[in-house]
Structure 1
Amino acid sequence: MNKRAFRLFEAEHISNVYARSRPTYNQEIAQHILECIQTKAKDGKHELMIEVGCGSGQATDVLAPYFHNVHATDISESQITQAKAFNKFNHINYQVGCAEEINACSASADLLVAAEAIHWFDLEKFFAEARRVLKPGGCLALIVYVHPKLTPNTSTGPQRQLTKRLTDVMKQMLYDNHSIKLVATFREMLNGYPKIFEAIPAKQKRRKIFHRIYDHWKIKDIKDFVNSMILQKNNLNTKHTDGLLQRETQNEYANEISGLVDNMNEILKIGGISPDCVISFEADFEMTVVTASEFL
């Protein structure tokens, strides 16, 4: 991974919260990917899927039933530990690894997938690996969720107030030009990878948008997630960042995170709301698919 891909999720508590709170993927997405794979299936399943930047395995779980073997990697050992803990299948091999050096034979994969991850990769090296590991007729699938927003589940004043203020802070973190240096990366992700889409060295690239609403953001889970950001800040200020991000940017990011955490914790003190109160998270999933034969 490039220097932007620092280990945000290395702490066990952060990875645990990540595993519980990240949006999951639906069968519609899985079926669209399967329709794009041009290799032959055996006994109703394709042979090998490789996932890079797998996190704690949200996309892996949805796609695994359609393959005989699954090889899923993430640069974070803590994320891989979480993925193994939540693993429901005996044919998934979770390992620490990076997208630019995939531990797989050439022309071996029916599917190479990156869900909410390619914005951290060295694109030139990753696309070279995609060409190498995909079988003729194999498929690269890139998934990202775009235009997220929070919606109150009731019309009560406190919840609506809380949702609006959390949304404002989320927008500040993700879109504010004067915020963290990584804002360009987040903007690229939440706008559906426009620059990355153009950078894919392929004759033909296909995009499809899926819509889904998530309703599992309880107030207590949001608090947990916000407090985990403090651990991210602490991680960035220790020697354990392994030089994956320049020290100057580490410190600026840590300072920004600290301010946003304080802001969000103050917002979450609004009275009259149960910790089990649910706020809906709404987003569109956007997927880009490229078959092996289309790579230049």
Structure 2
Amino acid sequence: MELLRYYETRNLAKDYDKYRPSYSQEVAEKIMKEVHLQIHSSTPFTKLGKMLDVGCGGGQATCLFSPYFESVLGIDISAGQISVAIEKNIRKNVQFQLVNSGKFPLPDNSIEFVNCATAAHWLDITLFQSECERVLKRNGCVALYAYLHKEVIDMDTGRMLALEHDYRQAIRIFFEAIYAHPRNRLVEKRYEPIFDQLANPTKRWVENITFVKYDTFHTFRGYFDTIGEYRNTMNNRVTGDKDPLDEMMKRLKEIWELNDKQDNEIQLKVIYEVNTIMFHKE
């Protein structure tokens, strides 16, 4: 499977870091609780040796795990994302490395944990699982997960905004207009196809992981503005073509009955669900 490169530029990497939600520390805590339960010799207060973050992007998830490990390595195929991750990193036990294949730059049986945050849908899952089982020590764990909008609440009124048929249709029209790669659908399907594809018999779901981000309507737009295929579409747009993101955001305002407000006046509480799969090396 060829490497899919939709998040290459540094400008996109900086905007991605600005507008995409940051995982809460609670996400790392819940995952690490599972890791410590699997690695029987450790306690929740004992640092483990080394972890790898695959598809680390700008390091949004990577650094959350630094308190739990002596050494953390984040890898990504995007030079722009890696440059942003290195630029903002202040943790001495965290490093980032550019890679150009699905192979991990680590020796066999060398680490305790592999993390993959909102990136697994871009990967060759068969190769990913094989590489995880190669580099992990016995009982070492893997977590792969992606966030998805669960609830959006209008902070002014406390009203829960609909994320059902009309919302999904607006998103679908936008994705069609930007020629979004079909693998984006794996996130919408809550990674269930990836779970089915994994051959490791220890695979399991970790339930009830969520986190919250507070947005204006403008910064909520930034979530979609940082989709790689949208940026490619806009770079190749012919003068006079409609902006598919403008069209989608207008439609969302209509669906949510927010047309009487400016984008920066609309305050939103966005709850994300984190659909999380874990497995370990037997």
Kindly indicate whether the alpha-carbon contact (under 8 Å) linking 2:53 and 2:73 is maintained by their aligned counterparts in 1.
Answer: yes
Q: Which residue number in structure 2 is paired with residue 240 of structure 1?
A: none
Task: Write out per-residue CA displacement over residues 181-210 of structure 1, whole angstroms, 9 at most, x where no aligned residue.
Answer: 646423321222111101111122121123
Q: Which residue number in structure 1 is paired with residue 276 of structure 2?
A: 287
Kindly indicate whether the alpha-carbon contact (under 8 Å) linking 2:143 and 2:277 is maintained by their aligned counterparts in 1.
Answer: yes
Which secondary structure state, in structure 1, belongs to the residue aligned with residue 138 of structure 2? strand
Structure 1's 139 and 184: CA in aligned 2 closer, same or farther, altered over 3 A? same
Structure 1's 57 and 170: CA in aligned 2 closer, same or farther, altered over 3 A? farther
Q: How does 1:194-273 map to 2 (within 5 A)?
A: 194-224=192-222, 231-234=231-234, 237=236, 259-264=243-248, 266=250, 270-273=259-262
Separation in 2 of the partners of 1:192 and 1:148?
11
Kindly indicate whether the alpha-carbon contact (under 8 Å) linking 1:213 and 1:282 is maintained by their aligned counterparts in 2.
Answer: yes
- Which residue identity lines up with residue 28 of structure 1 in the other structure? E
Question: Root-mean-square deviation (CA), in Å?
Answer: 3.5
Which secondary structure state, in structure 2, belongs to the residue aligned with residue 197 of structure 1? helix
Structure 1 window deviating more from structure 2 (215-224 vs 57-66): it is: 215-224
Separation in 2 of the partners of 1:212 and 1:52?
21
Aligned partner (choices 63, 66, 70) of residue 64 of structure 1: 66
Separation in 2 of the partners of 1:65 and 1:121?
27
**Unmatched runs of 5 consecutive residues or more in structure 2:** none
Kindly indicate whether the alpha-carbon contact (under 8 Å) linking 1:61 and 1:88 is maintained by their aligned counterparts in 2.
Answer: no
Structure 1 window deviating more from structure 2 (215-224 vs 281-290): it is: 215-224
Q: Which residue number in structure 2 is paired with residue 246 of structure 1?
A: none
Structure 1's 56 and 120: CA in aligned 2 closer, same or farther, altered over 3 A? same
- Which residue identity lines up with residue 170 of structure 2 in the other structure? Q
State the percentage of identical aligned residues: 23
Structure 1 window deviating more from structure 2 (77-86 vs 126-135): it is: 77-86
* TM-score (ref. length: structure 1): 0.76
TM-fit CA distance, 1:291: 0.9
Q: Which residue number in structure 2 is paired with residue 17 of structure 1?
A: 15
Structure 1's 283 and 228: CA in aligned 2 closer, same or farther, altered over 3 A? closer
Separation in 1 of the partners of 2:215 and 2:112?
35
Separation in 2 of the partners of 1:145 and 1:175?
21
Separation in 1 of the partners of 2:270 and 2:87?
25
Q: Which residue number in structure 2 is paired with residue 95 of structure 1?
A: 97
Q: Which residue number in structure 2 is paired with residue 48 of structure 1?
A: 50
- Which residue identity lines up with residue 278 of structure 2 in the other structure? V
Kindly indicate whether the alpha-carbon contact (under 8 Å) linking 2:207 and 2:276 is maintained by their aligned counterparts in 1.
Answer: yes
Structure 1's 136 and 174: CA in aligned 2 closer, same or farther, altered over 3 A? farther
Determine which structure has the larger helix proportion and give its number: 1
Separation in 2 of the partners of 1:258 and 1:135?
52
Separation in 2 of the partners of 1:139 and 1:98?
24
Task: Write out per-residue CA displacement over residues 54-98 of structure 1, whole angstroms, 9 at most, x where no aligned residue.
Answer: 111121121111001011011111111221222231111111125
Give aligned pairs, total. 269
